[in-house]
Amino acid sequence: MQKLIECVPNFSEGRDEKIIRQITDAIKSTDGVSLLDVDPGATTNRTVVTFVGNPEAAVEAAFRGIQKAAELIDMRKHKGAHPRMGATDVCPFIPVSNASWEDAIECAQKLGKRVGEELGIPVYLYEKAAKDKSRSNLAVIRAGEYEGFSEKIKQPEWKPDFGPAKLNEKAGATAIGAREFLVAYNANLNTKSVRRANSVAFDVREQGRFKTEDGTPSGKKILDANGEPVRVPGMLKHVKAIGWFVKEYGIAQVSMNLTNIEETPLHAAFDACFEAASKRGLRVTGSEIVGMVPKKCLTDAGRYFLRKQKWSEGASEEELIDIAVRSMGLSELKHFGPQEKVIELKIESDSKSLVKMNLRDFCNETLSDSPAPGGGSVAALMGALGASLGGMVANLSAGKRGWDDKLEYFSKWAVKAQQLKDELLSLVDEDTAAFNKVMDAFALPKQSADEKTARADAIESATKYAAEIPLKVMEAASKSYELLAEMAEKGNPNSISDVGVGICATRAGIDGAALNVRINLAALKDEKFKSDLQKKVLKLQENSESEFKKIDQIVQSKLT
């Protein structure tokens, strides 16, 4: 699988659609990148662009965007509410899939060198790509903004990492880095007052506010033993925040950057703003995400709000995202479309998938004269249905009247069922993809001796992969027995027949997948590989039969 790097350049133009389009067209002209999101803001006069690609393509696309921005944007005329220092203010790289921090840092260094040398723009490396750790913080680099940079850059400690030690008057300066996934997130307030929005921002941001003698923002600052102002820390770690007024919405917002969404997730920022605003007689009426977010941000939020409701967390990803959107009011200002705002969903929307079909279409496609999807994909689907039935019983049990003390127990099993279901559904597509790889290998040329050797090697490799996928189906489906056993013993007794159907589907999925392993093994030459997989298949089938019989006895006894 190819490495995937995300790049999120911020351009200092949020009003002129023609300029924004020319910049994004330059980015899209690069082969191997997918433009995921373009989010302009008139008040900030800034556009956040998100795209993904392999490392080489990501660097090339970013360079083309920066080059076009330098051509079209004149920083001498720029005004906007957001801090900025260049036509391309900041350009971070973030590893997304099969990519490491080293890959992202290398991207930053390659791009910085090109921008500095070819475009004559001063470049500062920041965050994980920073050469000088004292300059790793973007806010420190950007302090003084464009207007103050002509003098700042003359200081020895502010010599840029790449490019001239002189401000490019038209294009300004640019920060290029490798960073954790940053979420730009704004909480909407029922006020137009920037001062009151700032008060909430100071309450929640990590930096907090200065401590004063009378407790007011305008009061005399209290100093520590070193003569430095004492700060009262805010409620949240890894959060930068300010208050501002957004003219197009007619409201004030708390504008936040969440720089570590593992430690301070989206829902924590929402609740902190809600709490701080309430103490000041204000109300958070909703919120907005600027740019795109990983799916985990919203699924974690959905589970959090379900916990607050004292309800089972074993909901599908789609339902969890919907709960998160509604709970945080993400559609208050403009429609929040998950397919456009969630990175994984945006990428998936551009690809064909069997699991996106409705039941009739899937059956029709299986029934057609095309060899794929075939038995392997159907076996994976049966396994997913077995896990789904176990999860259904868990959710029904979690919501059963009078079983409130068992909510957490059944909720955990429902979450486990969702994970198993998703894993097995992914294998529905993967099995078909594996079959297609075998067909592609057989289609390779075989005229010369070298071509014949290369073709034979490709067929052997693709066939091994095609055998390993149904083995994964067997392994994943086997995990459902533990779930179904618990539901048979302790679940809602009115759903015992669903457990019975669940174990039938699970066993059928495992046995069906075993057939697909065996038919692929028959074509292989690697005897050790064949022997190892045959042993694994036999053991998984034996365990499956044993588990099925044990659970079936419980089901039959409860039915009678």
pLDDT digits (tens, 9 = 90+) for 19-53: 999 999 999 999 889 898 899 999 999 999 999 98
Which CATH number among 3.30.70.670, 3.20.20.70, 1.10.3720.10, 3.40.50.720 corresponds to the domain 183-348?
Answer: 3.30.70.670
Q: Are strands 174-178 and 123-127 parallel, antiparallel or unpaired?
A: parallel
What are the tens digits of pLDDT across the range 345-377? Answer: 887 776 678 888 999 999 999 999 888 899 999
SS3 310: coil
Tell me the whole-structure pTM to 2 decimals.
0.74
211-226 b/e (C-beta count within 10 Å ≥ 16 → b): ebeeeeeeeeeeeeee
Whether 300 and 260 have beta carbons less than 8 Å apart is answered as no
Q: Considering the chain, tell me which residue range(s) the CATH 1.20.120.680 domain(s) occupy.
A: 352-559
The reply to whether omega before 373 is within 30° of 0 (cis) is yes
Chain segment 57-75, per-residue pLDDT in tens: 999 999 999 999 999 999 9
Cβ distance 417 to 391 under 8 Å?
yes
State pLDDT tens for residues 275-310.
999 999 999 999 999 888 888 899 999 999 999 999
User: How far, in Å, CA of 121 to CA of 167, rounded?
Assistant: 7
CATH class of 4-178: alpha beta
Quick one: 203 exposed, middle or buried, by C-beta within 10 A (0-12, 13-18, 19+)? buried
Residue 144, C-beta contacts closer than 8 angstroms, at least 6 positions apart: 85, 152
Residue 190 three-state SS: coil
The confidence band for 462, taking pLDDT boundaries of 50, 70 and 90, is very high
Phi and psi, residue 310, nearest 5° = 55, 55
For 493-511, write each residue's pLDDT tens digit. 999 999 999 999 999 999 9
State pLDDT tens for residues 406-418.
999 999 999 999 9
State how far the Cα of 534 lies from the Cα of 545, in Å rounded to an integer. Answer: 17
Which of 114, 102, 126, 13 has its CA nearest to residue 62? 114
Tens of pLDDT along 91-115? 999 987 778 999 999 999 999 999 9
CATH of segment(s) 352-559 = 1.20.120.680
Q: Which residues are catalytic?
A: 82, 431
Does pLDDT of 214 surpass 80?
Answer: no
